[in-house]
Amino acid sequence: KAGVTQTPRYLIKTRGQQVTLSCSPISGHRSVSWYQQTPGQGLQFLFEYFSETQRNKGNFPGRFSGRQFSNSRSEMNVSTLELGDSALYLCASSLARGGDAFFGQGTRLTVV
Amino acid sequence: KNEVEQSPQNLTAQEGEFITINCSYSVGISALHWLQQHPGGGIVSLFMLSSGKKKHGRLIATINIQEKHSSLHITASHPRDSAVYICAVYTGANSKLTFGKGITLSVRP
């Protein structure tokens, strides 16, 4: 059974640009959550999607958005990138909301 | 004060030692995760607990809901156990995870 797949693995963007990250959950998993990890703040919750609907949102500005498709794949978008957005972005999928979470390898975003 | 606190912050052990990592939380939870992160970033979920104790190989996780405390034990530690161990909780009926800052474990041969 394939694990959670995140693409791309690495990304370098310039301030002011926008970026889209992709997450393919484990087959059959309907819940996808996104997290940001930085050395200073650690892991922080971004948002959770279940059945194509955003169910929870963390304390991030509106530049951070996401969506989930009917096949449960999810994308997150960050617009008007800032240097402080440089981080490891992780997604996790689970069979049900609040269930055992399986993490992807992450996308490491560097904003220059 | 963070909702999830882990101790100690850093830990160094000799191969073969018994290791205990602690996690305390200050909110009501529905479940607690122990996560392992190796250099390079990938996170592996070791356990999800809502009560009692779970064992997998050399790893044992316990949780005391009344005391709001969980421990992760590693028996017969090995250098490949060197990683960051992160405690995370699902708070109440919410399905978002709140994380501790993690503990960096180094196991010397």
Task: Encode pLDDT of A69-108 as tens digits.
Answer: 999 999 999 999 999 999 999 999 999 888 889 999 999 9
Distance (Å) from the alpha carbon of A70 to chain B's nearest alpha carbon: 20
Q: Per residue in A28-74, pLDDT tens? A: 999 999 999 998 889 999 999 999 999 989 999 999 999 999 999 99
Q: Are B98 and B36 in contact (CB under 8 A)?
A: no
Q: Which two tokens stand for residue A25?
A: 């959950």
pLDDT score, position B92:
62
Instruction: Identify which of B31, B88, B94 has the shortest CB distance to residue A56.
Output: B94
- Give the residue carrying structure tokens 């699902």: B90
Torsion of Cα atoms, A54 then A100 then B83 then B20, to 10°: 130
Q: State the average pLDDT over residues A10-24.
A: 98
Contacts of A98 in chain B (CB under 8 A): 30-31, 90, 94-95
pLDDT score, position A29:
94
- CB contact under 8 Å between A98 and B30, yes or no, is yes
Q: Per residue in A94-103, pLDDT tens? A: 998 888 899 9
Distance (Å) from the alpha carbon of A87 to chain B's nearest alpha carbon: 11
Cα–Cα dist B1/B3, whole Å: 6
Each residue's pLDDT, cut to its tens digit, for chain B (109 residues) gives: 679 999 888 999 999 999 999 999 998 888 999 999 998 778 999 999 999 999 999 999 999 999 999 999 999 999 999 999 999 998 766 678 899 999 999 999 9
- CB contact under 8 Å between A103 and B44, yes or no, is yes
Give B2's contacts (C-beta < 8 A, 6+ positions apart).
B100, B101
Put the strands of the sheet holding A5-7 in their side by side order.
A5-7, A19-24, A74-78, A64-68
Q: Are A29 and A72 in contact (CB under 8 A)?
A: yes
**Range 10-69 of A in CB contact (< 8 A) with B:** 31, 33, 35, 37, 42-45, 48, 50, 55-56, 58
- CB contact under 8 Å between A106 and B43, yes or no, is yes
Instruction: Identify which of A33, A58, A103 has the shortest CB distance to residue B42.
Output: A103
pLDDT score, position B94:
64
pLDDT score, position B30:
87
Q: Which two tokens stand for residue A80?
A: 């008007």
User: What's at A88, amino acid-wise?
Assistant: L
